[in-house]
Chains A and B, each alone.
Chain A
Amino acid sequence: GAVVSQHPSRVICKSGTSVKIECRSLDFQATTMFWYRQFPKKSLMLMATSNEGSKATYEQGVEKDKFLINHASLTLSTLTVTSAHPEDSSFYICSARGVDRYTDTQYFGPGTRLTVL
C-alpha cells in the first residue's frame, strides 16, 4: 500500500512554455501533499505544502506565481511550472501524507525530471 505516482516521469520543453506535473496517491487519500525540488547530488528542498481544497503554502524564496499548485481532490495534486526557463531544470518530487493508518509518514512519488531547453 501507500503508492504515489507522478506523471510524466520525464519532460523536455522549450523555454517560455508551461509544464504540468501530476502527483497521485493510488491507494489512499492524501489530505496533504508536498512538492520538493532536488538538485544534482543535493538534498531535497521543500517548495510548498498543499492541502486538499485550499491554497498551497509556499516556502520562503519560492515564487508562487511561477510554481502553481492545485490540490483539487484527496488523490491528486498538480504542479505547473509557468514560463519555464533553463534554470528551472531539475528533478521534482512529490510526496503524500495520508489519513487513517498512513498518518505521520510521507510517501514519495518516483519524481519528474524536467529539462528546459
Chain B
Amino acid sequence: GNSVTQMEGPVTLSEEAFLTINCTYTATGYPSLFWYVQYPGEGLQLLLKATKADDKGSNKGFEATYRKETTSFHLEKGSVQVSDSAVYFCARSSRGNEKLTFGTGTRLTIIP
C-alpha cells in the first residue's frame, strides 16, 4: 500500500543552522508529494508540493525535490529561524486517489 516514512524527531537546531528532514515514499502509482507545517495549536498549512519527478517545490526558504530514483522528498532550508519551530508532515497522494497519506511528523525546535 501507500506509505510515507519520515525522519523521527524531535529535531533541535540553533538559529541559522542548515535543516534537512528526510522523507521517503512508496513508489506505487504516480504520487504527488507535499510538505505541510503545523504551528502550535493550529491546523496544517501547505508548505510546498511537487507533482512529478524532478520537480522542486519551494516556499519561505524551504525546498524539496521529487526524486524518483531514490523515492525521496527531503525538506531542506539553508538557514532556519526561531519562527520555523513547528511540526512538519510529509505526505503523498496518488492520481485518481484523493486521499493523503501522512508521515508521522517531525517536531522541529529552533533555539536562538
Tell me the A residues contacting B by CB distance below 8 Å: 6, 32, 34, 41-44, 46, 49, 93, 95, 97, 104-111
A46 to B97 Cα, complex, angstroms:
14
Q: Does B100 contact A (CB under 8 A)?
A: yes
- Residue of B34, B43, B100 near A110 (CB, 8 A) is B43
Cβ proximity bits B78-100 to A, threshold 8 Å, 1 near / 0 not: 00000000000100010000111
**Chain A interface, >50% SS class:** strand
Tell me the B residues contacting A by CB distance below 8 Å: 32, 34, 36, 42-46, 49, 51, 89, 93, 98-100, 102-105, 107
Distance in Å: Cβ of B111 to nearest Cβ of chain A: 20
Assess whether A44 is in contact with B89, with CB atoms less than 8 Å apart.
yes
Assess whether A43 is in contact with B104, with CB atoms less than 8 Å apart.
yes
| Residues on the A chain within 8 Å of B32, using CB | 104
A72 to B4 Cα, complex, angstroms:
33
Assess whether B43 is in contact with A111, with CB atoms less than 8 Å apart.
yes
| Residues on the A chain within 8 Å of B34, using CB | 105
* Further pairs besides A34-B99, A105-B46: 13, Cβ < 8 Å: A32-B98, A34-B100, A42-B104, A42-B105, A43-B102, A43-B105, A44-B89, A93-B44, A104-B32, A106-B98, A108-B43, A109-B43, A110-B42
- Residue of A6, A41, A46, A109 near B100 (CB, 8 A) is A46
Assess whether A43 is in contact with B42, with CB atoms less than 8 Å apart.
no
A107 to B100 Cα, complex, angstroms:
11
- Residue of B36, B99, B104 near A108 (CB, 8 A) is B36
| Residues on the A chain within 8 Å of B51, using CB | 104
By Cβ-Cβ distance, the 4 closest A-B pairs, closest first, are A111-B43, A108-B44, A110-B43, A108-B43
| Residues on the B chain within 8 Å of A107, using CB | 46
- Residue of B42, B93, B98, B105 near A49 (CB, 8 A) is B98
